[in-house]
Each structure stands twice: as structure tokens, then as C-alpha cells.
Structure 1
Amino acid sequence: MWWWIEKLLIIVSFFISGGFSAYGSMTWGKLSEKK
């Protein structure tokens, strides 16, 4: 019963880390364009 919760946490953690990296690259690109 708990296996799907563990898989969900793994997927969510990967999604959050990927989202932060994508958001960081987008923000860095916008800052570079302003300079």
C-alpha cells in the first residue's frame, strides 16, 4: 500500500528539482539578456 506513495514522492522530488533547474536557467537567461 505504501509503494505508490514512495514512487509518488520520488516523481515529485524529480519534478521539483527539474522545475527549479529550468526556472533558474530561465531567470539566468533573462538576467543575461538585460546585461
Structure 2
Amino acid sequence: MIINDINKFHNVLIKQSKFILIVRHAEKIIDENQN
């Protein structure tokens, strides 16, 4: 049970970190287009 909970939590962290990377990358592209 505990191991499954840790795995779920780990998967959520991975998804969140990937999403944050995508958002930051998009922000960089927007900044480059504005300049």
C-alpha cells in the first residue's frame, strides 16, 4: 500500500515537472517573438 502511494506521488511529480518545463519553454518562445 505505502509503496503504491509513493509511486503515485512520484508519477504526479514527474507529470508536474514536465508541464512546468513545457510552460517555461513556451514563455521563452513568446519572449523571443516579442523582441
Same fold (TM over 0.5): yes
Moved over 3 A (4+): none
Matches within 5 A, 1:1-35: 1-34=2-35
Alignment root-mean-square deviation, CA:
0.5
Normalised by the length of structure 1, the TM-score is 0.88
Note the residue ranges of structure 2 that are not aligned, 5 or more in a row.
none
Note the residue ranges of structure 1 that are not aligned, 5 or more in a row.
none
